[in-house]
Structure 1
Amino acid sequence: MYFKIALNNVKKSFKDYTIYFLTLTFAVCIFYSFNSIGSQSVMADMNAGQTEYVKTMERLISVISVGVSVILGGLIIYATKFLISKRKKEFGIYMVLGMGKRKMSKILFFETLFIGIISLIAGLLLGMLFAQILSIFTAKLFAIQMTKYSFVISTSAILKTILYFGIMYLLVMIFNVIIVSRYKLIDLICADRKNERVKIRNTYIAATMLILSLAILGYAYYLVNLAGLDFYDTRFKASIVLGIVGTAFFFYGIASVMFLLLQRNKSLYLNGLNIFSIRQISSKFNTNFISMTIICLMLFVTIGTLSTGLGVKNSLEGTLKNQTPFDASFQAVDDNNKKVSIMDALKQLDYNLEGNAEYVIFEQYQYNMSTKNLLDEYATTNEDKQIINLKVFEKTNMIKLSEYNDIRKLKGKPSVNLQYNEIIVSSNYEPLKGILKSFVEKEKTINIADKEYKIKDGEIETEALTTSPTSDNIFNLIVPDDLVKGLEVSDETINLNFVGDNREESKKELTAILSNFAFDNNSAYKNLNFIIHGCTREMAYDMSRGLSAMILFIAIYMGIVFLLSSAAVLAIQQLSQCNDSLERYRSLRKIGATRSMINRSIFKQVSIFFILPLALSIVHSYVGIKVVNQYLVALGAGNKLEPIIITALMMVVVYGGYLYATYVSYRNITDSEYN
C-alpha cells in the first residue's frame, strides 16, 4: 500500500520534482563520465607516457569525487527538505486519518527511492553518452588519431556511482525520518496559513555593513594582489578570510539599502507591483544572506576554475614549438643531484648514439655572482620580487661561446661572434621578461671578475637551449671560453637529433629509457647510481598535454559540479519561498492584479536573486583571474580572452537555463491558484 501511495505521489508531483530530478540526473551523468575516463576506447591508441598521465588524472578525479559526493549529498538533503516542507498539509491529512509517523516515513522512503532510481538510471544512460564525448575530447587534447572507435561502458565507474549515490540516498532517508518525527499536527494542518514574515533590517546598520563590506573586499583584493598565489603567506590567508566576511556583509546590507533607495524614488516604487516585488526581494535577501554568500563563493570557484583551467591549457601548449628545437635533450645526475657524465651513463644503459644521432653536449658553469642582486633594482612589483628570490638566482649560470655555437649549429643556425669584452644575456623565462627588458635598457654592461662586459647588441637572446615542455633557459650568460676556466660545472646536457636508417628504432629505444625514469618505472635500472632527467620532443608534447589535460578535466569537473549545485540551491530556495508566499499572491489577485503583472513580478524576483550573487562573483573572479594570470606567464602565456568567453557561454547555458526553469516553475505554482 505504501509503495503504491509513494509511486502515485511521485507521478502526481513530478512538476515539483523536475528541477530536483534534472539536477540529480546531471550530477550522476557528470560523476560517471569523469570517473570512467580511464576505461574509454581512446586508451588503446595512447602510448605509455600518455597512459600514465590519464591514470594519474583518473586517480585525482577519484579523490576529488569524494568531496564532490559530499557537496551533492548536501544538495540532495537541502532539496529533500524543500520537497517535504511543501507537502506539510498533505502529511497533516495523513496524521488526521490515523497514519503514524513511522508509516509516513515509509512513504517518504519509497518516494526518495523512486526518485533516486529514476535519476540514477537516467544519469548513467546520459553519462555513458557524455563519456564518449569526453573520450573524443581526450583524444583531441593529446593529439591522438583514434584508429578505431568502440562504445565502452565502464563497470567500475557504474559501481562507484551506485555506491556513492547509494550512500547519499541512505543518509537522505535517515534525514527524512528525523524530519518527519519532529512534525506536529497543528503545524502541518496550518502550514498553508502561515505566511512568511517580511524582514526589513535597520537601515543604518545595513548601510554601515554594506560600506564596511566594500572596504573589507577592497582590502582583501589589495592583499591578494600583494601576496599572489603564495598559499603560505599570511596576507593570502587573510585575503581569503576577509573575502568571505566581506561577501557576507555585502549580502547582509545590500537588500535593505537598495530597498530604502528605491522607496525614495516614488515613480519607480509606486509603479505596478514594484512595491510588492521590492519588498519580496528585500525579505528574501535578508532571510538568506548566509546561503547567498555561499552561493556567491561557489560561483566564484566555478568561474575561476573553468577560466584558469582553460587558460593553463593554452599557456602550456602555446610555446611548445619554440621550446622543442631538438629531437631529445637530457641530463644524468647522481643521488645528490650532482652531474654525471652523459656518455658514461649511456654506456651503462647500452645505448649507442654513434651513427644514430647528431648531438651536442654542453656544460653550464656556476659563477659566484648573485643574479638576484644584479636584477633586484628592476624588480618593481611584488611578483617580480618573488621571482628573483628563487634559489636559482642565488648564483649565475654561464655557457661557453663555443658550445653555444655548437647548439646553434645543431639547430641549423649560424654561429655568433663575441668581442673579448662582450657577453650574451640569454633567457626565455616569461616572468623575467619585463625585468630583463628594464635591465638592458639601463645597464649596458655587467661586471664579471672586476671587468666590465658589454651586453651584445643591448638585447636579450630568447631562444631555447634544450627540448623541454616549459621554459628551460631561465637566465644564462654566454661568455668567451676562457672566462669559465676554474669554475664549477653545475650541469651537463645533451641535445640530439636522430639520423640514419635506424632513427625510428633509436628514438623508440631512447623514449623507453627516458619514460622509465620519468614515471618512476626504472626497476630495470635499480642498480644504477644515476638518474636520467629529460625527454624527447614527443614526450615534451605529451607532458605538456598531459598536465594541461589533468588541470582542465579537474577544473571542468569541479566547475560543473559547483555550478549545478549553486544554481540548484537558488532554484530550490525560490520555489520554497514561493510556496511560503502563496497567500500573498492570492491577495494580489483579490485586489485586481492580473496574471501578466504577477508574472512580471516573479521574473524580476527570480532574475535579481540569480544575478546579484553572480555579479559579485564575477568581480571576485576578475581579481582572482588577474592574480592567477601573473603565474600563468611562467608556463608560457597569460590567460587570454578565449577561456573567459567559453566560461561565459557555459554560465549562460547552465545558469541561465536554471534561471528560466525556476521562473517557469515559480509561475506554474502561482498559476495553479487560478485553477
Structure 2
Amino acid sequence: MLCKIALGNVRRAGKDYLIYLLTLTLAVTVFYAFNTISVQVDVAGVTEQNAGMGETLGGIISGLTIFLGFVMGFLMVYANNFIMKRRKKEFGLYQVLGMSRGQVALIMAMETLFVSAAALVLGILCGLGLSWLMVFFTASIFKTQIADFHFFFSLGAFMITVGCLVAIFIVTLIFNLRVVARAKIIDLMSAGRKNEVVRMRNPWVSAAVCLVGAVAIGVAYARLLHDGLPYDGAPEAMTNFLITTITVVVGTILFFFGLSGFLLKVLQAARGLYWRGLNMVTMRQLAAKVNTVSFSMAMIAMILFLAITSVTAGMSLASVMNETVERGTPVDYSRTLVYFSQETADEMNSISASEDGEGKRYAPATGPVDIIEASANDTVAFDTSKEHAFDLAAIAGKHVQIDAYDSRPRGESMPVVTLNELCDAVHMDLPAGTENSDATSQGLMVVKESNYNEYLRFRGMEPLDLGEDGYTITSDMGATVNDVYNAVLREGVELEISGRTLKPVQDKVNEDASTFINAMFGMNAGTIILPDDLVDSLDLPPYNSYLLLDYADGISTEEGDAFINEYRYYGDVTDGQGQIIGSWGTEATRTESYESVDSMNGLISYLAIYIGFVLVVACAAIVTIQQLSGVADASENYRILSELGTERRDIAHSVLAQQTVFFVFPLALGVAHSCVALSVIVKLVELFGGFSIGGAAAFTAAIFVVAYGGYFFVTYLMSKGIIRDATRIRRSL
C-alpha cells in the first residue's frame, strides 16, 4: 500500500521532482562517462603509444568523482528542500489521517528511491552514449587513429557511479527523515501559509554597501594585476595573494548584499519606469530576498569564476603545448649536461666528506666535454650478465653539441648581460614569472658564434656573421620574454662588454633557431651569441652542454627509442684527474616529448571539462531551486495580483525579470573575475609559448549555454506552471 502511494506521488508530483531528476541524471551521466576513460584510451589506441595513461587518468578521475559526489550529495539535499517545502502540508495530512511518522518516512524513502532509480537508468543510458562519443574526443586529444571501435560497457565506472548515487540517496534520505522527525503536525499543515520573515533594509544603506563592495572588488583587481600570481611561493607573495583573495570574496558578498536595494533606489528615482507595470512589485520582491540570497549569489559567482577560469585556462594551456611541441622537438634525441660551478663543487665536497670520509671529489669544469664520449660512462643493464657501456655513437647520425657558458666571468659575481639591464634599456617591465630566473639573477647564457653557426648548419639554416662588434639573442620562450629581446634587437641597443661596444645583427629573435633541447615548452630563456675571441677573453665557465642527435640511416625511430630507453645506470662526468665536474640533466626523445604533451593534454582537458561542467551544473541547480522555492512561496501573492486584475502574462514577466537578475548577475560578476584572472594567467603562460584563450573561451561559453542556460529555461517554464496553478484557483472559487 505504501509503495503504491509513493509511486502515485512520484507520478503526480512529477513537475516538483523534475529539477531533482534532471540534476541527478546529469550527475550520473557525467560520472559514468568520465569514469570510462581507461576504456576509452584502449579503444582509441592510446595505450599502444602511451602505456599507463588510461590507469593514471582513470585513477585521478575516480578520486575526483568521489569528491564531486559529496558536492552533488549536498546539492541534492538543497534540491530536495524545494520538494519538501512544496509537500509539507501533504505529509502533515498523512499524519492527520492516522499514519505514523515512520510510515510517512518510509513513503518519502521510497519516493526518493524511485526517483534515484529513474535517474540511474536515464543517466547510465545517456552516459553510455556520451562515453562512446568521447572515444573520438579522446582520440583527437591523443592524436591517435581508432582502428577497432566497438561499443562497450564499463563495470568499474558503473560501480563507482552507483556508489556515488547510493551516497547521495543516503544523504538525502537522512535529511528527509530529519525533517519529518522534527516537524510538528501543525507546522506541516500550516506550511503553505507560513512565509519567510524578511526585513527590508534602508535603500541608501544598501546602495552604500553595494558601492563599498564594488570598490573592494576593484581594489582586488588592481592588486592582482599589479602583484600577479604567487608562482614562486614566496611568503610575501602568498600573503599578498591571500589578502587579494579575501578582498574579492568580501567585496563580492557586499556587492550582492546591497545590490537589490541599490537597484530599488535607482528605479525609484526614475518614477516613470518604477511605476510602470509590475516593476514596483518586481523590485520589492528582489529587495525582500536580500537576506537569504546575497551570500549564496556571492558564492555562486565565485564558483562560476572557478569553473570559467579552470576550463578556459586548462584548455588554453593544452593548446599552448600543442603549438610549441613541434618547434620544441627538432631532433630524434637530445641530452643535457650541467656543469658544476666553484660554489656547487665546494658544497658537494663538503657533503661527500661528511658522509663518506674520503668519498667522491668534485671540481668546477674548466671547459666543455664531449657528451657522446661522456655518455659511455653510463652502464646499460647494470649489475646483470648483459652489462655494457651506453654507446651513443652506435645510433648517432647527424648531430651537434651546443656549449653554453655562464655569463659571470670566473672570480666575478656580476653577469656581463642580464634581463634586467635589457628591460631597462628598452624601458619595459620585467616579464611576470622571470624575477627568479637565471636570466635575471645569473644573466643570459653565452654561446660562441662558431658553435652557434654549427647548430644553424645542423638545422639547415644560414650561418650568421657577427663581425668584430656584433651580437644576437636567441630564445624559444613566449611573447612576454621575447618581446623584450625583440625590442632590444629592433632598437639597436648597444652593449658594453669587456671594453667593446656591440651592436645587434638581427632585428628580431629567430625562435626556430633557438631550441637546444627536446621539450614541451620553451627552455631557452635567453642566450646571447658573441664573437669567439670575446668569449675567450672573458674567461667564462661552462654552464650547460646540449646534444642534439638524429638517428643514423637504417635505424628506425622505434629501434633508436628502444636503445635510448633501455634501463641504464648513469655514470659520473669526470675530468682527467677523476674529479666529477658535472651531472646529467634532462634527456628526451622526440617520441617521449609528443607522448608527454598528449598525456598532459588529455589530463588537463578532461579535468578542466569535468570539474567545470559539474560546478556549472551545481551552481545552476542551486539558483534554480532558489527561484522555484521563491515562486512557490509567493504563489499566494500571485493569486491576489490575479484577483486584482493583473494578467498572468505580466506576472510571468515579473518573475522572469527576477530570475534573470539571479541567474545573470552572478554569472556576469564571475565572468568579470575570470577576465581579470585570465589576463594575469595569460601573461604568465606566455613565458612558454603563444597563449590564446579564444577557442577555449568559445568552448566554455558552449558549456554555459547548454548547462546554465538550460537550467534557466527550465526554471522559467516550471515557474510559469506554478503561476498558472496559483492563478487558476481564483477562477475555480
TM-score, L = length of structure 1: 0.92
Q: CA deviation at 1:210?
A: 0.9
**1:629 paired residue among 668, 682, 704:** 682
**1:267 paired residue among 241, 263, 272:** 272
**1:656 paired residue among 692, 697, 709:** 709
**1:387 matched to 2:452:** no
- CA shift digits 1:419-475 (9 cap, x unpaired): 133222211222212222343455633233343333224543432333322112211
Secondary structure class of the residue paired with 2:462: coil
Pairing of 1:576-655 with structure 2 (within 5 A): 576-655=629-708
Note closer, same or farther for the CA distance 1:629–1:235 as it changes in structure 2 (3 Å cut): same
**1:184 matched to 2:184:** yes
- CA shift digits 1:245-266 (9 cap, x unpaired): 0110011101011112212323
- CA shift digits 1:181-231 (9 cap, x unpaired): 110111111111223455421122211101101110010001111221216
Contact 1:223 1:239 in 2 (8 A): yes
Contact 2:128 2:153 in 1 (8 A): yes
* Equivalent residue number for residue 436 of structure 1: 485
* Equivalent residue number for residue 371 of structure 1: 418
Measure, in 2, the Cα distance between the counterparts of 1:15 and 1:401.
77
Q: CA deviation at 1:379?
A: 8.6
Higher relative contact order (CA 8 A, sep 6+): 1
**2:299 paired residue among 290, 294, 302:** 294
Note closer, same or farther for the CA distance 1:135–1:618 as it changes in structure 2 (3 Å cut): same
Measure, in 2, the Cα distance between the counterparts of 1:580 and 1:13.
17
Contact 2:495 2:503 in 1 (8 A): yes
* Equivalent residue number for residue 242 of structure 1: 247
Contact 2:475 2:526 in 1 (8 A): yes
- CA shift digits 1:610-630 (9 cap, x unpaired): 111111112111111111111
- CA shift digits 1:492-520 (9 cap, x unpaired): 2211223422233433324634xxxxxxx
Pairing of 1:15-414 with structure 2 (within 5 A): 15-40=15-40, 42=42, 45-46=45-46, 50-197=50-197, 199-230=199-230, 232=233, 233=237, 234-331=239-336, 341-345=371-375, 348-349=379-380, 350-354=390-394, 357-368=397-408, 369=415, 371-375=418-422, 377=424, 384=431, 386-395=433-442, 396-414=444-462
Note closer, same or farther for the CA distance 1:48–1:512 as it changes in structure 2 (3 Å cut): farther
**1:478 matched to 2:529:** yes
Measure, in 2, the Cα distance between the counterparts of 1:51 and 1:525.
20
Note closer, same or farther for the CA distance 1:259–1:381 as it changes in structure 2 (3 Å cut): farther
Measure, in 2, the Cα distance between the counterparts of 1:239 and 1:448.
43
Secondary structure class of the residue paired with 2:16: helix
Note closer, same or farther for the CA distance 1:348–1:492 as it changes in structure 2 (3 Å cut): farther
5+ residue gaps, structure 1, are 514-523
Measure, in 1, the Cα distance between the counterparts of 2:8 and 2:673.
46
Q: Which amino acid aligns with 2:675?
A: Y
Secondary structure class of the residue paired with 1:623: helix
Note closer, same or farther for the CA distance 1:68–1:505 as it changes in structure 2 (3 Å cut): closer
Measure, in 2, the Cα distance between the counterparts of 1:356 and 1:655.
56
Contact 2:209 2:258 in 1 (8 A): yes
TM-score, L = length of structure 2: 0.85
Q: Which amino acid aligns with 1:169?
A: F
Q: Which amino acid aligns with 1:312?
A: L
Higher percent of residues as helix: 1
Measure, in 1, the Cα distance between the counterparts of 2:426 and 2:5.
72
Measure, in 1, the Cα distance between the counterparts of 2:627 and 2:488.
58
Range 299-308 or range 495-504, more displaced = 495-504
* Equivalent residue number for residue 576 of structure 2: none
Note closer, same or farther for the CA distance 1:376–1:16 as it changes in structure 2 (3 Å cut): same
Note closer, same or farther for the CA distance 1:508–1:428 as it changes in structure 2 (3 Å cut): closer
Q: Which amino acid aligns with 2:633?
A: D
- CA shift digits 1:554-574 (9 cap, x unpaired): 111111011000000111111
Q: CA deviation at 1:332?
A: 5.0
Q: CA deviation at 1:584?
A: 0.5
Q: Which has the larger radius of gyration?
A: 2
RMSD: 2.6
Measure, in 2, the Cα distance between the counterparts of 1:48 and 1:399.
40
Q: Which amino acid aligns with 2:523?
A: D
- CA shift digits 1:551-604 (9 cap, x unpaired): 221111111011000000111111111111111011011111122222222222
Q: Percent identity?
A: 29
Note closer, same or farther for the CA distance 1:549–1:235 as it changes in structure 2 (3 Å cut): same
* Equivalent residue number for residue 519 of structure 1: none
Note closer, same or farther for the CA distance 1:243–1:51 as it changes in structure 2 (3 Å cut): farther
Pairing of 1:527-566 with structure 2 (within 5 A): 533-566=586-619
* Equivalent residue number for residue 520 of structure 2: 469
Note closer, same or farther for the CA distance 1:44–1:198 as it changes in structure 2 (3 Å cut): closer
Range 611-620 or range 315-324, more displaced = 315-324
* Equivalent residue number for residue 356 of structure 2: none
Note closer, same or farther for the CA distance 1:389–1:372 as it changes in structure 2 (3 Å cut): farther
Contact 1:3 1:107 in 2 (8 A): yes
Measure, in 2, the Cα distance between the counterparts of 1:379 and 1:618.
35
- CA shift digits 1:284-311 (9 cap, x unpaired): 3443111111111111112112221221
Range 47-56 or range 331-340, more displaced = 331-340
**2:465 paired residue among 402, 409, 417:** 417
Note closer, same or farther for the CA distance 1:355–1:155 as it changes in structure 2 (3 Å cut): closer
Q: Which amino acid aligns with 1:323?
A: G
Range 182-191 or range 1-10, more displaced = 1-10
- CA shift digits 1:7-66 (9 cap, x unpaired): 221121111111111111111111122222012254562256633444433333233323
Q: CA deviation at 1:531?
A: 5.5
Note closer, same or farther for the CA distance 1:87–1:528 as it changes in structure 2 (3 Å cut): farther
Measure, in 1, the Cα distance between the counterparts of 2:33 and 2:277.
48
Range 492-501 or range 459-468, more displaced = 459-468
* Equivalent residue number for residue 516 of structure 1: none
5+ residue gaps, structure 2, are 349-364, 381-389, 409-414, 573-582
* Equivalent residue number for residue 568 of structure 2: 525
* Equivalent residue number for residue 426 of structure 1: 474
Note closer, same or farther for the CA distance 1:386–1:193 as it changes in structure 2 (3 Å cut): same
Contact 2:256 2:298 in 1 (8 A): yes
**1:446 matched to 2:495:** yes
* Equivalent residue number for residue 385 of structure 2: none
